[in-house]
Amino acid sequence: MEPSFPFDPLARGKEVEALVLKNGRRIYHRFRAAPYYGGIATADAIGCNLLCAYCWNYFKNLNPERFPELYSPAQVASRLLQTARKKSFRLFRITGSEPVLGEASLEHLTEVLQLLLREEPRATFVLETNGLFLGYRPDIIEKLHFPQVRIRICLKGVDQASFEKMSGARGEFLSYPLVALRECQERGLEAWPALMGDFFSDQDISRLKKTLSSYGIREDLELEYLERYPFVLENLERRKTPVVR
């Protein structure tokens, strides 16, 4: 399902959502304990509106229809809770994909959150998202207003050109994650920006911080770093995306 680059990520998101979500059930390919954030129960979903050059789940997201395992919100919450209890974790997340491709996937996500947090009210859920659909439809952000939810919005570039090169999507869509960040913060949700630091210089990061400030976004930028799996490095070379750090 590889599109012509650059593509419209909202249109792609609609197409992908139809493939990975059926009657409220979404495709996941594993549930696991992960070391990030000090230890977190993790559900690896499939299906993204972007095709980031550095993504460790790139080839699953490229052809999501090859993975037929659909899970209901109740099944996802149950598997996450089982994983957490084995490790005494109180942190939870869904990763490897975009959890909010459209309204249907948002409904699936909020059902997972309601079930999980009702069972484990002391939990914290880290929502890892690229923020595209949330920025396109900021009116739906209130549906994520749970006190236990922390929203990490991963920016794919520091300007339109780098966003397009990194994400595969057209550069003008860079503004949507920024709008999502601003709207989340203005609504009192705990939300912050993240950036894959390997591809950007200190000057690039300074420029991004100025852009965040111009949108009224607090500049608490999290830098993440590349998982250098061989297939990731091969894909970066194929996409002509050099690591600068």
Element (H, E) at 211: helix 202-214
Spatial CB neighbours of 95, under 8 Å, sequence gap ≥ 6: 34, 42, 43, 44, 45, 128
Rounded mean pLDDT, 138-150 = 97
pTM for the model stands at 0.96
pLDDT given at position 241: 94
Q: Which of 231, 170, 162 is nearest to 197 (CA)?
A: 162
Measured over the CA atoms of residue 235, residue 161, residue 139 and residue 209, the dihedral's sign is positive
Spatial CB neighbours of 206, under 8 Å, sequence gap ≥ 6: none
How far apart are alpha carbons 144 and 99 in whole angstroms? 12
How far apart are alpha carbons 215 and 210 in whole angstroms? 9
Residue 47's pLDDT band, with cuts at 50, 70 and 90, is: very high
How far apart are alpha carbons 14 and 18 in whole angstroms? 6
Q: 3-state DSSP call for residue 214?
A: helix
Give yes or no for residue 98 having a pLDDT over 70. Answer: yes
Rounded mean pLDDT, 149-156 = 98
The answer to whether the beta carbons of residues 90 and 122 sit under 8 Å apart is: yes
Between 120 and 2, whose confidence is greater?
120
∠ CA 37-133-102, nearest 5°, is 100
Q: Tens of pLDDT along 10-35?
A: 999 999 999 999 999 999 999 999 99
- For the chain, give every domain's residue range: 9-238
Residue 1's pLDDT band, with cuts at 50, 70 and 90, is: low
Q: Tens of pLDDT along 234-243?
A: 999 999 999 9
Rounded mean pLDDT, 75-102 = 98
pLDDT given at position 3: 86
Q: Tens of pLDDT along 51-70?
A: 999 999 999 999 998 888 99
Per cent of the chain over pLDDT 90 is: 94
Q: Tens of pLDDT along 174-219?
A: 999 999 999 999 999 999 999 999 999 999 999 999 999 999 998 7
Q: Which fold has domain 9-238?
A: TIM Barrel (3.20.20)
Straight-line distance from the first to the last Cα atom of the chain, in angstroms, rounded to the nearest whole number: 31
Q: Which of 93, 177, 92, 193 is nearest to 141 (CA)?
A: 177
What letters, b where the CB count within 10 A reaches 16 and e where it falls short, cover 75-106? bbbbbbbebbeeeebebbbbbbbbbbbbebbb
∠ CA 39-43-46, nearest 5°, is 140
Rounded mean pLDDT, 131-149 = 98
How far apart are alpha carbons 183 and 88 in whole angstroms? 33
Q: Rounded mean pLDDT of the chain?
A: 96
pLDDT given at position 245: 76
